[in-house]
Structure 1
Amino acid sequence: MRTLGPYEILEILGEGSFGTVCVGRAQNDPSRRKVALKVLKPAYTNNKKILNRTRDEARLLSQINHPNIVRVEALAWFNTRTTMVMEYVEGVSLDQLLIRFKDGLPGAVALEVTRLTCLALHVAFAEAIGENGAPMRVIHRDIKPSNVLLSVHGEVKVVDFGIAKGDFEGREAETESVVMGSRPYMAPERLDGMSDSPAVDVYSAGMSLYELLTGRTMGLSINPVNHDQAMTRQLLYVQVPGMSQGALDDLRNLIRRMCAYSRDYRPTAFECVKDLEALSYAIEPRYRIGLEEFARTTVVPIYESRPRTSPDEAITGDDDEGGFEDISETLGHRTSPKPLESRSPLPTTMRLGSPLWFVGGLVGAVALLGALALVKFTLTDDPATRGPAHVRVTVWIPSNATAFLDDVVLPAAGPARLESGPTQMKVQYTSGRAVMCDFDAAEGVQVRLVQDSGRDGITLNDGPFRPCGELTTAAVPTAP
């Protein structure tokens, strides 16, 4: 039997950027209730930024009590490893469902899941009260299908508040508003460095709703005119059996408003809740399926057939993924849990459930490259050692991509010093897809990777769209 502190480890769910997610059960709990354990990797044990975000997520979720928002049970140290103890949700993420439903989920399911997601967003921002009695004004900032779970009982859970913004007592991490989130769910103003508002979550929810209804990802431009034109074309793909043409037009208009280029034109999350409820009743009863029935017939089989990795398989590398890094250093020992910060203890009656917080193992490599790129840029940015032919450009890329420009590697958006003149930028996504973009490097140029009508391209200083070419993975260099 493998253990982590007082918990018996039953299953390894996965390994991601910052750690490993396990399913555990307290050995002294007569109810034998399962919990999810998010264990930080040793490499980040002394990373103040990551630790602060982890503690902030735990404090935030421990103060929100809503059935559609995951909750934290405890934050502790086991074997010197920071561990978040959470509610374990038996279910699947919406993006996993979309693998099965290539053309989108049943209309009633998509509308109800989005309604409950918007209700959770409304509560987090407008109703959640912190320990000091003041509203916490929580903005999730990363709403997308992979961050919404549907349980085997038909419950909707919004997960992964790791980059959320909020006002709550004991907050440690500095709020960041530039290029944090996931394209194409990120609102245009987020790319422009504007202060975040609840409207960014409404935009993301609208983009997710479109994907749930169609099975497609809506590609929109950061140019206001092109943005609206592209959305008008793509909304024609929204079709809901059993819904009248008038109701269908209302649904498309709601998505149009939720995904409006200007946040001033977007409805509030609570207005979306009311509109989505009305639209659900506009579907003919014979086409209307409830979440409990859908979960029973669809979610349960997917959940029960999921790949399982035992702790011993994870340690020996006998699982299909080839082993889990660092897990052998974590399991098998037993220590008493202690609070991470005595000055801000967490309630012991809370729970959480985001087994997907660490999902996306490829992003781990990108995260590790961040420090290398930062050190490299710092060491080479001395004016005394720079030649006059070098210019400073700023590259904006989504969080799931890495940019390669000559000998500069950018695992995230930021500045780069390049030789002036024609430049080739290779961009590789965590999915393995890669593109090549050409531009002329000049002092102060802002290079922004965008999508227009499903095509990858760039803009220079927010100018015209310039298409990029597809590459084979082999053509993309590996980071030093």
Structure 2
Amino acid sequence: QGVSLDQLLLRFKDGLPGAIALEVIRQTCLALHVAYAEALGDDGRPLRVIHRDIKPSNVMLSIHGEVKVLDFGIARGEFQGREARTESVVMGSRPYMAPERLDGVNDSPAVDVYSSGMSLFELLTGRPMSLSINPVSHDQAMNRQLQYVHIQGMSTAAVEDLRDLIRRMCAYTREYRPSAADCARDLEQLQYAMDRRYHIALDEFARTTVLPIYESRPRIAPEDAIQQEDEDFLLEVTGALTSTSPHREPRVALAPYVFVGVLGFVVVLLGGLALIKALLGDQTLLSSDDRVRVEIWIPNNAQAQLGEAFLASKGAARIAPGSTLLEIFFDDGTSLHCPFEAGEGTSVRWVGSSSVSINDGDARPCTPVHEAKLMDVEPHSPP
């Protein structure tokens, strides 16, 4: 139960919040270190597992904020004293594949460090890094693209340290790359360099962002899935599909009459509207509502006021477009003011540390309001 990182990137076009990206890759590096150095086989020896296909689609964030490394389909490891690997037509995934994998060099844990660095860049910027297989061009292209790495709430010096870490993780020569454990340590230190207002806990991010995405996924009934599998097999073997409804002859004779009737109705309707408009002059025919729909996600221990609407946990309201203020009232008596620009379909999500995300963008700190009092109101039902 969760969402892969590439699915999150569909929502966060310009990259995930910096704190989330750093923590997800930190935990990914820890998992890779454990898989290679600490996971033991039945004989008590390390399994030496190398994933070989780390990328955003193979890392999942659960609805509880847990980081899961998925798909060991082309992994390599040592089991009971002998080397074993899963065979696959696909060696890995470009652009996450380390250069030495293209040269046929024996795999090492450094290939997973390279892929993790490439994934980190994509999580921070919203786009994959494009690098050359030529060593010189590789370094030049990386230095140029690393300028796109920025994190709100992080000092210029710390951002440069982060760029340097990605530079080392994605080094062309594997001997220059740090270990997965070293990467995890450096990423943890970089998180301490962030302004605390921009810190976002994974469990809070999962509740306010991952869970809604997970719950909105398409669902297929088991019987439909079985039927689809049968149809796929039938199509592959015979080129034909089963029919789920009886064949019906088209009612061609009635079609012209239906068309003429609909056309006549439209003409009469338009004529009536024109007549009413002429009688009323410039007055509006129908009462228009210029308000826009805004969706809100806030913590369970809070309520919010948006315009004239009062919301609890999750809800939506129609308000006037433009600059507006979301007021969040917590059970402990504190409150926050979160200004934003309201437009049709705008979403405002609480992402922790006194911050909200507008349309799943970067975390934006709210202004604390002292001595606020929680309002005793009924939650507003979404319109």
TM-score range, shorter chain: 0.5 to 0.7
Equivalent residue, structure 2, for 1:192: 103
Tell me the SS of whatever aligns to 2:77: coil
Asked if structure 1 preserves the Cα contact closer than 8 Å seen for 2:3 and 2:213, the reply is yes
Q: Which amino acid aligns with 1:140?
A: H
Call closer, same or farther: CA 1:228–1:179 in 2, change over 3 Å.
farther
Call closer, same or farther: CA 1:201–1:166 in 2, change over 3 Å.
same
Give the alignment's TM-score, normalised by structure 2.
Answer: 0.59
Q: Distance in 1 between matches of 2:196 and 2:85?
A: 49
Cα deviation for residue 162 of structure 1 reads: 1.2
Equivalent residue, structure 2, for 1:220: 131
Asked if structure 2 preserves the Cα contact closer than 8 Å seen for 1:177 and 1:196, the reply is no
Equivalent residue, structure 2, for 1:356: none
Equivalent residue, structure 2, for 1:156: 67
Higher helix share: 2
Equivalent residue, structure 2, for 1:414: none
Q: Distance in 1 between matches of 2:12 and 2:192?
A: 23
Cα deviation for residue 316 of structure 1 reads: 3.4
Q: Relative contact order (C-alpha < 8 Å, sep 6+): which is higher?
A: 1
Q: What RMSD over aligned residues (CA atoms) do the two structures have, in Å?
A: 2.1
Equivalent residue, structure 1, for 2:28: 117
Equivalent residue, structure 1, for 2:58: 147
Equivalent residue, structure 2, for 1:469: none
Asked if structure 1 preserves the Cα contact closer than 8 Å seen for 2:77 and 2:85, the reply is no
Aligned length: 234
Cα deviation for residue 325 of structure 1 reads: 3.2
Structure 1: runs of 5 or more not aligned: 1-89, 328-480
Call closer, same or farther: CA 1:324–1:294 in 2, change over 3 Å.
farther
Moved over 6 A (4+): none
The answer to whether the aligner puts 1:265 opposite 2:176 as a matched pair is yes
Cα deviation for residue 324 of structure 1 reads: 6.5
Q: Distance in 1 between matches of 2:140 and 2:129?
A: 12
Asked if structure 1 preserves the Cα contact closer than 8 Å seen for 2:113 and 2:170, the reply is yes
Q: Distance in 2 between matches of 1:325 and 1:158?
A: 30
Q: Distance in 1 between matches of 2:231 and 2:59?
A: 25
Cα deviation for residue 314 of structure 1 reads: 1.8
Q: Which amino acid aligns with 2:12?
A: F
Cα deviation for residue 123 of structure 1 reads: 0.3
Tell me the SS of whatever aligns to 1:154: coil
Call closer, same or farther: CA 1:308–1:179 in 2, change over 3 Å.
closer
Asked if structure 2 preserves the Cα contact closer than 8 Å seen for 1:257 and 1:265, the reply is yes
Q: Distance in 2 between matches of 1:326 and 1:291?
A: 41
Asked if structure 2 preserves the Cα contact closer than 8 Å seen for 1:179 and 1:191, the reply is no
Q: Distance in 1 between matches of 2:132 and 2:212?
A: 38
Counterparts of 1:46-195 in structure 2, within 5 Å, are 90-169=1-80, 180-195=91-106
Equivalent residue, structure 1, for 2:144: 233
Cα deviation for residue 313 of structure 1 reads: 1.4
Q: Distance in 2 between matches of 1:105 and 1:115?
A: 14
Q: Distance in 1 between matches of 2:88 and 2:227?
A: 41
Q: Which amino acid aligns with 2:108?
A: S
The answer to whether the aligner puts 1:295 opposite 2:206 as a matched pair is yes
Instruction: Show CA shifts across 1:407-452 (max 9, x none).
Output: xxxxxxxxxxxxxxxxxxxxxxxxxxxxxxxxxxxxxxxxxxxxxx
Q: Sequence identity, in percent?
A: 73
Give the alignment's TM-score, normalised by structure 1.
Answer: 0.47
Q: Distance in 1 between matches of 2:105 and 2:216?
A: 44
Call closer, same or farther: CA 1:144–1:298 in 2, change over 3 Å.
same
